[in-house]
Amino acid sequence: EAAVTQSPRSKVAVTGGKVTLSCHQTNNHDYMYWYRQDTGHGLRLIHYSYVADSTEKGDIPDGYKASRPSQENFSLILELASLSQTAVYFCASTGTGGTQNTLYFGAGTRLSVL
C-alpha cells in the first residue's frame, strides 16, 4: 500500500529558530508536495517537486525552503520560524499513469511556534 511518513508528528519551536519537517514516501512517486492547513484556509501549497534535487514554489512559499535529496525524501525548512507559521503541515505524493492526480497524504505534522 502507498505510504507517506512524516516526522516529527508534532513540534514546538521558538520564534526565530530553525525547523525541519521531513517526509518519506515508499510509493515510487515522482511528485511530492508540502501543504499547510489552517482553520478557515483549507490546504495551501507551499512547495512541490517533480524530480530529485529540484523544487518549485507553490502558492505560499515565503518563509519556507524545500529540499528533495532523493526520490523518496522531501523536507520543508523554516530557517527563521515565526508565529504565523503555526499550522498543520501535510506532505503528499503522486505518480503518473493511473495514480495521476491522486494524492497520498502523510498523517501531518502539527507545528506550534512560540
Partner 1 sequence: TQTVSQSDAHVTVFEGDSVELRCNYSYGGSIYLSWYIQHHGRGLQFLLKYYSGNPVVQGVNGFEAEFSKSDSSFHLRKASVHWSDSAVYFCAVSGGYAQGLTFGLGTRVSVFP
40 is a contact residue toward partner 1 (CB under 8 A): yes
Which region, judged by CB under 8 A, interacts with partner 1, from 19-27, 62-70, 73-81, 93-101?
93-101
Sites for partner 1 among residues 46-75 (CB under 8 A): 48, 50, 58
Question: Using CB under 8 A, which of the segments 17-25, 34-42, 69-77, 78-86 binds partner 1?
Answer: 34-42
| Cis peptide preceding 61, ω within 30 of 0 | no
Interface positions with partner 1 (CB under 8 A): 4, 31, 33, 35, 40-45, 48, 50, 58, 90, 92, 94, 96, 100-108
